[in-house]
Structure 1
Amino acid sequence: MSEESQVFKRQGFGTDVDLAPPFGLLIVDFVNGFADPAIFGGGNIASAIASTQPLLQHARHSGWPVAHSRIVFADDGADHNVFSRKVPGMLTLRENCHASAIVPELAPIAGELVVRKTVPSAFFGTMLAAWLTQHGVSTLLVAGCVTSGCVRASVVDAMSLGFTPLVLTDCVGDRAIGPHDASLFDMQQKYAMVMNSQAALALCSQAVSGN
């Protein structure tokens, strides 16, 4: 165990929490622009998209509420904000822009919520929390990108709003691995349960069966 990990453990961080049903799935910003290394992608985002495909199939088969998020700015840039000032290219993500569309392999189906946002968190200024509450979600599985940005922001807000976030290490990606790893560590210590999708789905099945 690293010296940093020992400090967190000694101070009582990283405690496991129960994963109670009902479960829901949030897929953050897996859009064409973040799948393309020439635009906003790179790192391990492509592999995270691939790993999310069977996860999404499982969620649909299990009847879980599924929500997706996209970054979508107004065509005239009227909603230009601090986020787009820090990353001006975000303003190219508009409603009918190919880069802002969810990747075809994870395309939403009828009954799944699509949240449009102009800030990192999928919760801030959207109806996501109300929708998840309406569907009775207790534990929220989280996939998407980027781990150090919109995923982390969404996880912090999910926890703050009373959902138990479960971050799937193989289903989240970042354009750089250093921030990805650091953010997974940080979320595990403070805000969420963090594990790979295979382990997560096994625990979810155990929780549902009562074993």
Structure 2
Amino acid sequence: MTRPWDGIISEEEQRAYHAAGFGRATGLGKRPALLIIDVQYRTTGTRPMPLAEAITEYPTSCGEVAWAAVGNIRQLLELFRARGWPVIYPHVAPKQGFDFGRLSDKVPAIMTVGARGYDFVAEIAPIADDILLPKKHPSAFFGTPLVSYLINAGADTLVVTGCTTSGCVRGSVVDGFAYNFRVLVPEDAVYDRSATSHAVNLFDMAAKYADVMPSAKAITALAAIP
């Protein structure tokens, strides 16, 4: 099976990781929770557009790759709602002066996003009983009650979607792994403004922290949970 990082991570490096025992599957538990991270118009734009055009609307947009991921997230979301499994929306809320911190130094454009940019994309917007989780930093776990919510929901597996692959997705995956949750990343349900960064971080997560697979394969595996 062709992987997103083929042609970017050399075959020699991939063989070395495999020989060292990296990348073994951890499998799914009995009760997954779906994380939909930062799927807001500020990261997708209001419609599919090439990146160069999208960033004129929202500088933090990832362009048309985001909309391809939204369609796959929607299919996962339909399964989770049908099964009554937890759905959680870690998201950045509009920031006030005391929130700025170092993010304002590294990415000043995020401080100028209009209120509409923080709205959830309509195709996968939350409904009653979904959990909204405002966050201030990349990881959905840092400074939030996410672990408490997951324990209360009886979740043992995280299905992590959204953006960016190299930022908030990766940060949440690493922390979820550190809390000993099983982690699944549907590779076409996460997105990034950089194709290279997207691929490299998927490779690294697959090697060390998560099971990474296409969303169609993920849906089949999830649907098989009793």
Q: So what's the TM-score if we normalise by structure 1?
A: 0.92
Q: Which residue in the other structure is 2:48 paired with?
A: none
In the alignment, structure 1 residue 55 sits paired with structure 2 residue 76: yes
Of residues 173, 186, 189 in structure 2, which corresponds to 1:171?
189
Q: Percent identity?
A: 38
Of residues 186, 194, 201 in structure 2, which corresponds to 1:183?
201
Write out aligned runs for 1:1-211 (5 A): 2-36=11-45, 37-38=54-55, 39=58, 40-41=60-61, 42=63, 44-75=65-96, 77-93=97-113, 97-206=115-224, 208-209=225-226
Q: Residue type matched to 1:173 in 2?
A: Y
RMSD: 1.5
CA contact (8 A) 1:166 1:194 kept: yes
Q: Residue type matched to 1:188 in 2?
A: A
Structure 1 residue runs of 4+, over 3 Å off?
A: none
Question: What's the CA shift for 1:146?
Answer: 0.8
Q: Which residue in the other structure is 2:3 paired with?
A: none
| 1:67-113 per-position Cα deviation (integer Å, ceiling 9, x unaligned) | 012112433x211111232001222357xx11111111111111111
Q: Residue type matched to 1:175 in 2?
A: R
Q: How many residues align?
A: 205
| 1:163-189 per-position Cα deviation (integer Å, ceiling 9, x unaligned) | 111000111011111100111000000
CA contact (8 A) 1:143 1:168 kept: yes
CA distance in 1, matches of 2:103, 2:14: 32
CA distance in 1, matches of 2:220, 2:122: 27
Gaps of 5+ in 2: 1-9, 46-53
Q: So what's the TM-score if we normalise by structure 2?
A: 0.86
Gaps of 5+ in 1: none
CA distance in 2, matches of 1:90, 1:160: 28
| 1:116-170 per-position Cα deviation (integer Å, ceiling 9, x unaligned) | 1121111110111110111011111111011111111111111111211100011
CA distance in 2, matches of 1:50, 1:201: 13
Q: Residue type matched to 2:66 in 1?
A: I
Q: What secondary structure, in the 3-state scheme, does the structure 2 residue paired with 1:155 have? A: helix
CA distance in 1, matches of 2:116, 2:12: 45
CA contact (8 A) 2:37 2:89 kept: yes
CA distance in 2, matches of 1:81, 1:52: 31
